[in-house]
Chain A
Amino acid sequence: MRRWLKHWPWALLAVLLLVPATLVWLNVRDEDAIVDTPDIKGTAEQVARGEYLARAGDCMACHTARGGQPYAGGRGIDTPFGIVFAPNITPDKATGIGEWSPGHFWRALHNGRARDGRLLYPAFPYPNYTRVSREDADALYFYLKSLPPVQQKNQPHALRFPYDSQIALGVWRALFFRPRHFEADPARSAVWNRGAYLVQGLGHCNACHAARNVLGATSGPTDLGGGLIAAQNWYAPALTWSPGEGGVADWDAKDIVALLKHGVNGKAWVKGPMADVVLYSTQHLNDADLHAMAIYLKAPVREDDERRRQPAGEALLARGAKLYSTHCAKCHGDKGEGAPPAYPPLAGNRAVTMEPPANLVRMVLGGGFPPATAGNPRPYGMAPFAMVLSNDDISAVVTYVRTSWGNEGSMVSSFDVQRYREGSGP
């Protein structure tokens, strides 16, 4: 023991060298050598396929600023760690990806590293895109390279210390990211596997539909257990296991397809960030792919959690009932029956009773329309009540709706309403 202690400076040195070396290794493992050049051209089929895949990946949602040029970047993604600005991915040589080769693009998607070697922030969902095949990555690349180049400099991220450092990002990646290929499950059908590939990979559904830990990591692309979207205060419901949330196990596949294609079906509307997803991504997918996603999402149901219940006072319910008949009943009916698909029913509607009540409160505050899709081009709208009803009023009316006509939701307090008033985003 004594003898070992004598060598402590050497041991310290070894540790000092070993830790960074391990960190670097963990960040560059499984990378392919880049042997190709940026002047490779894709075939017309590859470009067309890439355009379709860019829709499936909803690349535009982040890489196009409000009112900006398509794919020229500049949109800020609000995260708990600061704002990440999506870069220009048009083929401009100076400010876009004009100098990138297919190998660079593959490394960004599969390994999360940029052409210049920088580690990329996982706001770019490469923990999902890592499962995209090389063939599809190349098609996406050739499509983006076929776009008109837009000269627009990238805006630096506005992240707080220490999240703004590459070392911190390297540690995050060492802990939470490992590149991997999509592996088909031979016990399942080809359709199920196609759905799994789309949902886990380009669709990056769990970027919203899963909980994130304090460092913003999910437990992986197969986790669709539901999560509150940071900074936006919309709740993306659990998709695979909870019949009380967004689980679709007991839905017909065609109803799932209709919701992803048109933004409405007889049971539901999409709203909030999901309205954007339908508008820019899923309505453009073909029926076979939407059907595959539906089959994958219809996974076996697990037991529902016991929801927290807090009895609502009678005075609150009476106030809620009065407000309901004044402001809501005209469209949603005295018994919450609605007039679907224009006005969704509120009785038996799990978006109404879900825990947390974020989406119901955001809907009452902001109102709005489901997306205008090819299948539902002239949607009916709901008025925003943020400027008309107080927090106490909204607490009363949503509590009434959550506990009437057989609904068994919990009480929503004025404090909850105030919290969701502070959400950003559509």
Chain B
Amino acid sequence: MGLDRVADPALRRLVLPCLLGAAASLAAAAPPVAEDTMAQRMQACTVGHGPSGRAATDGYYPRIAGKPAGYLYNQLLNFREGRRRYAPMTALIDTLSDDYLREIAGYFASLDLPYAMQQPPSAPPEMLRRGEALVMHGDAARQLPACVQCHGPQLTGVAPWIPGLLGLPADYLNGQLGAWKVGIRRAQAPDCMAQVVQRMPEQDIAAVARWLAAQPIPANYKPAAALTQPLPLPCGVVGGALR
């Protein structure tokens, strides 16, 4: 891993001691210093979301580094305001201000860090074919739009509001789509994603999650700059103020 890819010099200072185990024990003898950086302030996020938000090893907590800022900001608001339910996450950020949540979202969005290797697919080929068809083409008979219509032709998301769908654990994707289906994950109204998921039976959700999780990450995995076609459904998450 090239440390030169870690753009933020403050972050480099944090990453280095982790790599050099021997140096860490020497450094620990000095009194701790709270650096005036976002990397230092955001240490609270690294236990669940991994170092610098690059996802932990347990396969459930999602990566947050490099996701679009508006998407991350909306999710923080959703946790604080009860549209997403995960009590530990809500408790963590419950007493933070809109301004600070926006800054946090912008910080993690700005991190340009390499992705880990993907695990090989662990699903029957039939299921993966079904997943791929739904992601790329949707299902016209059920008026189900394709994932690529909103999340970008490369599934890399669209800045600043729409997230990419690659590089996420299958369990996480399955859990989120399931939560949407039963109404315990919601987004700003009109909640287009809820409408989409309502049109998907459980086996389709599982197929989409498995296929997405099995895809390699493109070399330059970054959200597209802007939408190239109108969204198939009205979506409350798109637009709004993001300083």
Bind each other? yes
Q: Residue A378 at the B interface, CB < 8 A? A: yes
How far is B58's CA from A279's CA once the two chains are assembled, in angstroms?
34
- Contact indicator A334/B43 (Cβ below 8 Å): no
Determine if B240 is an interface residue (Cβ-Cβ < 8 Å): no
In Å, the complex CA distance between A72 and B125 comes to 52
Stretch with Cβ within 8 A of B (4 or more), from A25-33, A130-138, A315-323, A363-371:
A363-371
**Within 8 Å of chain A (Cβ to Cβ): is B97?**
yes
Neighbour of B95 across the interface among A275, A331, A387, CB < 8 A: A275
| Contact of A331 (CB < 8 Å), options: B34, B58, B81 | B34
Q: B42: which A residues are within 8 A, CB to CB?
A: 381
Taking a contact as CB atoms under 8 Å apart, the answer to whether A66 and B81 are in contact is yes
Q: Is A189 located at the chain interface by the 8 A CB criterion?
A: no
Q: Which residues of B contact A65 (CB under 8 A)?
A: 82
**Closest 5 interchain pairs by CB?**
A381-B44, A67-B81, A342-B34, A383-B47, A371-B95
Interface string of A330-344 (1 = CB under 8 A from B): 111110011100110
Residues of B within 8 A of A (CB): 28-29, 31-34, 40-48, 58, 80-83, 87-88, 90-97, 99-100, 103
The answer to whether A369 and B96 touch across the interface, beta carbons within 8 angstroms, is yes
CA of A370 to CA of B95, assembled, Å: 7
Residue of A nearest to B186 (CB): A67
Contacts of B47 in A (CB 8 A): 367, 383-385, 387-388
Contact of A426 among B45, B58, B94 (CB under 8 A): B94
Q: Distance in Å from the Cβ of A193 to the closest Cβ of chain B? A: 31
Interface pair B28/A329, CB less than 8 Å apart: yes
A sample of 12 more A-B contacts (CB under 8 A), given A332-B32, A368-B93, A377-B99, is: A67-B80, A67-B83, A325-B28, A329-B28, A330-B32, A331-B32, A334-B29, A339-B34, A369-B95, A380-B40, A381-B42, A388-B47
- Contact in complex: B44, A383 (CB < 8 Å): yes
Q: How far is the CB of B79 from chain A (nearest CB, A)?
A: 10
Q: Which residues of B contact A330 (CB under 8 A)?
A: 28, 32
Query: Does A77 belong to the interface (CB within 8 Å)?
Result: no
Size bracket, chain A contacts: 35 or more
Contact among B28, B43, B48 with A380 in the assembled complex (CB-CB below 8 Å): B43
CB distance from A333 to the nearest CB of B (A): 5
Which positions 35-62 of chain A face chain B at CB distance < 8 Å? none
Q: Would you call A386 an interface residue if the criterion is a C-beta within 8 Å of the partner chain's C-beta atoms?
A: yes
A290 shortest CB reach to chain B, Å: 18
Partner of A384, one of B28, B33, B48: B48
| Min C-beta distance of B40 to chain A, whole Å | 7
Bound complex: CA A416 to CA B126 (Å): 50
A66 cross-chain contacts in B, Cβ below 8 A: 80-82
Q: Is A372 an interface residue (CB 8 A)?
A: yes
Contacts of B33 in A (CB 8 A): 339
Cα A366 to Cα B44 in complex, Å, equals 10
Whether A377 pairs with B100 at a CB distance below 8 angstroms is yes
Inter-chain residue pair count (beta carbon < 8 A): 111
The chain B residue sitting closest to A270, CB to CB, is B95
**Per-residue contact bits, chain A 375-401, to B (CB 8 Å; 1 contact, 0 not):** 001111111111110000000000000
Residues of B within 8 A of A382 (CB): 43-44
**Interface membership of A164, Cβ < 8 A:** no
C-alpha gap A263/B94 in the complex (Å): 14
Knowing A378-B100, A383-B43, A385-B47, the reply to whether A367 touches B92 (Cβ < 8 A) is yes
- What are 16 pairs between A and B in contact, CB < 8 Å? A66-B82, A275-B94, A276-B94, A330-B32, A331-B34, A337-B31, A366-B88, A366-B91, A372-B96, A377-B100, A379-B100, A381-B42, A383-B43, A384-B44, A384-B88, A386-B88
| Nearest CB in chain A to that of B99: its residue | A377
Cβ–Cβ contact A426 & B95, under 8 A = yes
Distance A425 CA – B93 CA, assembled complex (angstroms): 12
Shortest C-beta distance, B198 to chain A (Å), equals: 21
Residues of chain A within 8 A (CB-CB) of B34 are: 331, 339, 342-343, 380
Q: Which residue of B lies closest to A371 (CB)?
A: B95
Which chain A residues border B103 with CB–CB below 8 Å?
A: 378
Bound CA span A382–B43, Å = 7
A65 to B88, CA, bound (A): 18
Q: Please measure, in the bound complex, the distance between the C-alpha atom of A278 and the C-alpha atom of B95, giving whole angstroms.
A: 9
Determine the chain B residues whose CB is within 8 A of the CB of A278 once the complex forms.
95
Q: Which residue of A lies closest to B34 (CB)?
A: A342
Asked whether B95 lies within 8 Å of A279 as measured between CB atoms, the reply is yes
Which A residues touch B88, using CB under 8 A? 366, 384, 386-387
Query: Nearest-CB distance from A121 to chain B (Å)?
Result: 23
Whether A369 touches B92, Cβ cut-off 8 Å, given contacts A331-B34, A380-B41, is yes
Query: Would you call A276 and B95 a contact (CB within 8 A)?
Result: yes
Distance, CA A325 to CA B40, complexed state (A):
18
Give A333 to B28 CA distance when docked, in angstroms: 7
Question: Does A368 contact B32, Cβ atoms closer than 8 Å?
Answer: no
Residue contact B32 to A369, C-beta cutoff 8 Å: no
Q: Which one, A263, A339, A424, contacts B31 given CB within 8 A? A: A339
Whole-angstrom CA separation of A367 from B32 in the bound complex: 18
A367–B48 CA distance with the chains assembled, in angstroms: 11
Minimum Cβ distance to chain A for residue B204 (Å): 30
